Structure 1
């Protein structure tokens, strides 16, 4: 498991600016890596701020981790990578990537539009690094839109690149489908098999689907061809479950669905939690309601959730309950747990979460909200992260930055607190 280590505060390099007006932001000139060895292999992560399909796509979270950070963490965990570079035109992406430990190269506007190619970002990054006398032999391109990969896959691909003498290696999955392509004379023609001798699907061999997750190539080959893929190429097989590429909201929902079943390091990266705002029914309870013979309302709460709230408050954080129900049971539970604020009967959770933040003196970037139903979604824009229990409404699961493995009322809040705090965690100084 990769342990995340944050770099010291950012600074810009001195008087000699890099080519094309690009700027490196980081921890000083990186001519050598740990132990004094030369930088031979650089991972480049292109991350534009603009996106048509999903607004701010490279900063959306899967399993609580921004997509750009996922690629940075994968590269940092790989033993073959000497330096990780993020190329971006977006100051928000730059700040998040730098905090994750990447060297950030500011991409000029001329290379940041919808028509700008990935190759242009690679060329610019290499030119900026060359201005600092950093000329790596091998380049590993990591695409933010592929959230699932491992450091072992990166290392394996780099080793395969050197062992085979190929001009390039790319991530791929074996493909056993019956593929047809348009024929110039009209109609279609088979691309992967002979219809006259139709094989069994598993007998279609030697066909690969490019996943777009990573590419390995030499700097010299790239500068000669201007392309990440030229000459003799070799596929590096990855598991089909890792071949997810996020281009549409549906892709993002599917990736989050898969991620909810995986446990990864760095969850909720970059969130400095000082305030938890929790829905009650379906989050602190299992959404069931019981009524006594005299009409009194009864709810079932989980003691582990209570212990999680107590742990968060003991660490210096604040907790608020925000529910649409006018529930005496919720009020009594909140008072027993000594939460810092309780709002009952909410009809506008967006306004109410902002009012809570104002009363408690905590800004949205230090707030984590949790809810299970669509009425809780208005809290999401006013929190650094929005979390859902495992049995939340499908629309909530699709929108959540993180989905717990526990169901509402069955330890989901405790699971969230443990992820936020971790072993030995202490809140930032107030």
Structure 2
């Protein structure tokens, strides 16, 4: 789950977040871009990841997206999941983080971010909890507090959501609500 990373520190950091932010390509998706004659025509998203995001929100954690690309597919998926904080076309992800923090009143130290490649580093190195999918670039993995066993688009987001929910003490309560 964490290679040589300190799991206790990762749990402590995850327990303190109020806003969890995600990149899209390579995190919610496997990073492949599907194009046709009209341009981008789709991305594949995991329903498990989506449910994890809904569980985070149900536990009181705000959820956001900061992505360098613009995609109507991302806008639709974010709306479907109830993600209100969506920054697309963010060529400067640090500025997007600053804008998101200003809009929510949440400091970067109380934010988490999951990214997979170099453009995510300016955010990953500023937030209180940095995470990556298993197949993230080595420079990203080296700077994260927690690394999923799963790759982007293959359950990494859900694994992160479960980790955060457990760290915050919300996982069992949410599960018991379903089992009741």
Name the TM-score class by shorter chain.
0.7 to 0.9
In 2, Cα distance between equivalents of 1:280 and 1:290: 14
Asked whether the equivalents of residues 267 and 419 of structure 1 are also in contact (C-alpha less than 8 Å), the reply is no
Selected match of 2:123 from 364, 379, 383: 379
Selected match of 2:66 from 309, 312, 322: 322
Aligned to 1:269: 12
Aligned to 2:49: 305
Asked whether the equivalents of residues 312 and 417 of structure 1 are also in contact (C-alpha less than 8 Å), the reply is yes
Aligned residue runs from structure 1 range 17-416, under 5 A: 63=2, 257-259=3-5, 267-271=10-14, 272-292=16-36, 294-416=38-160
Asked whether the equivalents of residues 388 and 404 of structure 1 are also in contact (C-alpha less than 8 Å), the reply is yes
Pick closer, same or farther for the CA change 1:294–1:416 going to 2, 3 Å. Answer: same
Asked whether the equivalents of residues 284 and 413 of structure 1 are also in contact (C-alpha less than 8 Å), the reply is yes
Structure 2, unpaired ranges of 5+: 171-180
Pick closer, same or farther for the CA change 1:298–1:354 going to 2, 3 Å. Answer: same
- Cα offsets for 1:11-59 (capped at 9, x unmatched): xxxxxxxxxxxxxxxxxxxxxxxxxxxxxxxxxxxxxxxxxxxxxxxxx
Larger relative helix fraction? 2
In 1, Cα distance between equivalents of 2:9 and 2:51: 23
- Cα offsets for 1:347-372 (capped at 9, x unmatched): 11111111101111211121001100
Asked whether the equivalents of residues 273 and 366 of structure 1 are also in contact (C-alpha less than 8 Å), the reply is yes
- Cα offsets for 1:258-311 (capped at 9, x unmatched): 449xxx566421441110110000001000111245434210111111011000
Q: Larger radius of gyration, structure 1 or 2?
A: 1
Shift of 1:380: 2.1
**Helix, strand or coil for the counterpart of 2:12?**
coil
Of structures 1 and 2, the one with the larger relative CO (CA 8 A, separation 6+) is 2
In 2, Cα distance between equivalents of 1:424 and 1:369: 16
Aligned to 1:421: 165
In 1, Cα distance between equivalents of 2:76 and 2:101: 22
In 2, Cα distance between equivalents of 1:377 and 1:277: 13
In 1, Cα distance between equivalents of 2:140 and 2:42: 26
Shift of 1:424: 7.8
